[in-house]
Structure 1
Amino acid sequence: MPKLTVGPWIAAQKLPHREAARDRHAFLTRTRLRAETPEVAGLPLVGMGGSCGKPCFALPYRLTWTEANTLALEEVAQAFGCYVEYGLYPHLKRHEDDLEIAAVQDWTTFGMVYLRPGFEQAEEVLTRLAEVLRPE
Structure 2
Amino acid sequence: MTKLTVGPWIAAQKLPNRDVARDRQAFLERVRTRDETPSVAGFPLVGLGGSCGKPCFALPYVLSWTDENTRRLEEVADRYDCYVEYGVYPHLKLRENDQEVGAVQDWTTFAMVYLRPGYERAQELLVDLAETLRPQEMTTNPK
TM-score bracket, shorter-length normalisation: over 0.9
Residue 139 (structure 2) aligns with: none
Alignment RMSD, CA only? 0.6
Runs of at least 5 residues in structure 1 that lack an aligned partner in the other structure: none
Residue 114 (structure 1) aligns with: 114
Runs of at least 5 residues in structure 2 that lack an aligned partner in the other structure: 137-143
| Structure 1 CA distance for aligned equivalents of residues 13 and 27 of structure 2 | 9
Deviation, structure 1 residue 18: 1.1
The list of structure 1 runs, each at least 4 consecutive aligned residues, that deviate by more than 3 angstroms after superposition, is none
Q: Is 2:16 the partner of 1:2? A: no
Residue 27 (structure 1) aligns with: 27
| Structure 2 CA distance for aligned equivalents of residues 68 and 17 of structure 1 | 46
Q: TM-score, normalised by structure 2?
A: 0.93
Matches within 5 A, 1:34-113: 34-113=34-113
Deviation, structure 1 residue 127: 0.3
* Stretch moving more, 103-112 or 67-76: 67-76
Of all paired residues, the percent bearing the same amino acid is: 72
Aligned residues, how many?
A: 136
SS in 2 for 1:129: helix
| Structure 2 CA distance for aligned equivalents of residues 25 and 115 of structure 1 | 30
Deviation, structure 1 residue 112: 0.4
Deviation, structure 1 residue 37: 1.5
Q: TM-score, normalised by structure 1?
A: 0.98
SS in 1 for 2:52: coil
| Structure 1 CA distance for aligned equivalents of residues 28 and 9 of structure 2 | 15
Question: 1:14 is aligned with what amino acid?
Answer: K
Residue 14 (structure 1) aligns with: 14
Question: 2:58 is aligned with what amino acid?
Answer: A
